[in-house]
Amino acid sequence: MSLHRLTQIVMGVPNVEQTAAYYTDFGLTPGASPADGSRPAAPQTAAAGSGHVLSTADGGEQLRIVHTPRRRLVELGVGADDPDDLDRVAAALARLDVPVHRTAGSVSAVDPGTEVLVRVETAPRLRQTPPPAAPYNTPGAAVRQGERAPGILREVPVRPRKLGHVVLGSTDQEASQRFFLEGIGFKVSDTVKGLAAFMRCSTDHHNVLVQQAPVAFLHHTSWQVDDVDEIGRGATAMLEADPDRHTWGLGRHHIGSNFFWYLKDPAGTFSEYYSDLDCIVDDALWKPGVFEGAKGLYAWGPPPPPSFLAPEDLAALMTGAHTPAQ
Ligand SMILES: [Fe+2]
């Protein structure tokens, strides 16, 4: 696969400071000042060069938060192996009549339905070191004997390893999906009939999902942690600081198989801790499924709150009257 990962997102919010503080609590590390020149601003959005940068443990500077009048995803970075891949993306987008901006190291284009500027750039592949083995007792196989579970002994704050995926609302879901599949080169892992496709640009089960919505918006971002204990520890710490952050969890998705816990940031966007996501290394060995309605949403856990399926600020986002709680 020539595309191999998400590199960085630029998230636009009306309340930059508050939102950056939230993602610091979430476990991302405030990065170097954007003024250090470590990463050039994307060609089509001056805003992308400002704001706060936060890092994951393995993926580096993966979140930039900038000011926009209403919350949305401004940019999505996708890593590719070499310039040939960029040529292929540029040609595919041109076939869809999408205007393309090409530089030596990147190709960018805006998907009108989601209003996101997607930038495909040459980037090194992510090499992740596995966490220490956490022996897990099962009936008839007590592999951990005479010692407590490592998950209850951890004390360091949870730190997400990488950005996993984003879920977007699009005013033209079909066109947005075509943009990502036929234009950028994502692949379909599973489909929810008539609603959306889970799309990947890496070996992760999904990196982007686009849903039909009355307004372009960012539904959630998702961040990988080591295991389900880290999800529980991370969410518990977030809720100790502010119980109103709770949205949905703990549960396990059916599509993608991952454990999840969703929280809400001060701009109204959900952020997810996840672990144990399905991994697709050999495309030929994966059979994409077609799921109906909410069936594929979760295998177990509490039912999703209505506000997860239709965020409470959608009407305000449509009218531009969105003002997040201060
Ligand atoms: Fe998710």
In this predicted model, what pLDDT tens digit does every residue of 120-129 receive, in sequence order?
999 999 999 9
Instruction: Using the mean position of ligand 1's atoms as its centre, give its distance from the Cα of residue 35 in Å.
Output: 32
Instruction: Using the mean position of ligand 1's atoms as its centre, give its distance from the Cα of residue 29 in Å.
Output: 21
Which residues are in the CB-under-5-Å shell of ion ligand 1? 222, 272
User: Considering the chain, what percentage of its residues have pLDDT values greater than 70?
Assistant: 92
- Residue 304: pLDDT over 60: yes
User: Considering the chain, what percentage of its residues have pLDDT values greater than 90?
Assistant: 87
Give the pLDDT of residue 117.
Answer: 98
Instruction: Using the mean position of ligand 1's atoms as its centre, give its distance from the Cα of residue 58 in Å.
Output: 19
> Could you read off the pLDDT of 220-259 as tens digits, one per residue?
999 999 999 999 999 999 999 999 999 999 999 999 999 9
Structure tokens at 251: 């549960």
- pLDDT band (50, 70, 90) for residue 41: very low
Give the pLDDT of residue 37.
Answer: 40
Q: Can you tell me the distance from the alpha carbon of 6 to that of 121, in angstroms, rounded to the nearest whole number?
A: 10
Instruction: Using the mean position of ligand 1's atoms as its centre, give its distance from the Cα of residue 317 in Å.
Output: 21
Give the pLDDT of residue 296.
Answer: 79
- Residue 48: pLDDT over 70: no
Residues whose CB is less than 8 angstroms from the CB of residue 291 and which lie 6 or more positions away in sequence, other chains included: 190, 191, 192, 193, 254, 255
Instruction: Using the mean position of ligand 1's atoms as its centre, give its distance from the Cα of residue 220 in Å.
Output: 7
Structure tokens at 69: 């009048």
